[in-house]
Amino acid sequence: GLDIREGLSYGGPLLHSVQLDMVWPPPDELREAFQDFPGEVILQVGGKAIDKLGGSPERVVERLETYRGVIHRVLLDRSMGQGLGMDALALLPFARLIGTKLPEIGLGAAGGLGPTTVELIKPLLLEFPDISFDAQGQMRSDGDSSKPIEWDRARGYVISSLELLNRCNKV
């Protein structure tokens, strides 16, 4: 596998953040790998990571506590790039507990968001106005995230996102 430090070297001085799409990587190894990295480290907490801890928000937060000082943001993403529709209400207990127990860690969410489905994030956005959200699989008409982005879909996503933020009085 690719060494994280080696991977960081490919990013050069303009690399500002790294997202780790890994299931509970060893915190001490991350601490060592990112000790000199000045940017933001985002840990994806996907379906496998949540399921590995029995679907328990409390157990997820306990595990996240072991990453204090290493990660800056958590991306809650049960879809994991597959374009599956987000169930924001199911993510709310995780977001609430992370926000309460680990307020220094920023929140992000993903899962099936796209130009016509960005509304799925609304329950999380209303409660967490600073939440980050992103799209991957829905940026292609066939949902295949290994293919190039279809820019008309990306444009539609940005426009729909801005309209949603405006309706939620967040812009």
Q: Name the packing angle between helices 88-101 and 57-65 (round to 10°).
A: 40
CA dist., res. 166 & res. 102, Å (int): 28
CA dist., res. 118 & res. 98, Å (int): 23
Give CA 125 to chain center in angstroms. 14
Mean pLDDT computed over every residue of the chain: 91
* Per-residue confidence (pLDDT) for residue 137, from 0 to 100: 84
Q: What mean pLDDT comes out for the span 111-129?
A: 94
Q: One-letter amino acid identity for 80?
A: M
What count of residues does the chain have? 171
Q: What mean pLDDT comes out for the span 93-117?
A: 95
* Per-residue confidence (pLDDT) for residue 85, from 0 to 100: 80
Exposed, middle or buried by CB within 10 Å (0-12, 13-18, 19+), for 44?
Answer: buried
Check whether 1 has a pLDDT greater than 50: no
* Per-residue confidence (pLDDT) for residue 131, from 0 to 100: 95
- At 41-92, the pLDDT tens digits run 999 999 999 999 999 999 999 999 999 999 999 999 986 555 568 899 999 9
Q: What mean pLDDT comes out for the span 101-115?
A: 95
